[in-house]
């Protein structure tokens, strides 16, 4: 391997590692959304991760999701939420789910 190319491979490797860790963190936070829905008696149908959501409160320290779920009465909802962790909280402590927008739908346009 050429000495000129080696720094680019190292940089690409570092970017890949950060991207994988970011994705795994988002999937961990996704479980907090599921848990919040189950605690409210709802059934999650689909949860999309939305990186760099402009509507997220404090977009630099939250992970945002678009959620489709059924409530306890069987009505469909399309919602947007952000999941964050307290700054001084335990690293594996509870995640906070903040629902930004939640609307009832007769049908869901994907």
DSSP helix, strand, coil percent of the chain (3-state; round to 5): 30, 30, 35
d(CA 98, CA 37): 12
pLDDT, tens digit (0-9, with 9 covering 90-100), for 57-90 = 765 678 899 999 999 898 999 999 998 877 676 7
Residue 90 belongs to some domain of the structure: yes
Residue 110 belongs to some domain of the structure: no
Residue 77 belongs to some domain of the structure: yes
Residue 97 belongs to some domain of the structure: yes
Please give the pLDDT value at position 26: 87
Q: Where is 54: in which H helix or E strand?
A: none
Q: In percent, how much of the chain has pLDDT > 90?
A: 40
Please give the pLDDT value at position 56: 76
Provide the domain count of the chain: 1
pLDDT, tens digit (0-9, with 9 covering 90-100), for 33-52 = 999 999 999 999 999 998 88
d(CA 25, CA 1): 34
d(CA 44, CA 34): 6
User: Containing domain of residue 44, as a range?
Assistant: 6-105
Residue 1 belongs to some domain of the structure: no
């Amino acid at each position: 391997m050429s000495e000129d190319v080696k720094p680019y491979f190292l940089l690409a490797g570092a970017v890949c590692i950060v991207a994988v860790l970011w994705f795994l963190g988002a999937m961990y936070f996704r479980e907090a959304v599921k848990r919040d829905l189950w605690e409210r008696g709802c059934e999650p149908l689909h949860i999309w991760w939305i990186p760099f959501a402009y509507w997220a409160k404090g977009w630099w320290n939250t992970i945002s999701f678009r959620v489709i779920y059924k409530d306890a009465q069987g009505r469909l909802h399309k919602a947007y939420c952000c999941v964050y962790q307290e700054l001084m909280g335990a690293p594996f402590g509870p995640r906070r789910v903040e629902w930004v927008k939640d609307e009832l739908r007769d049908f869901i346009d994907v």
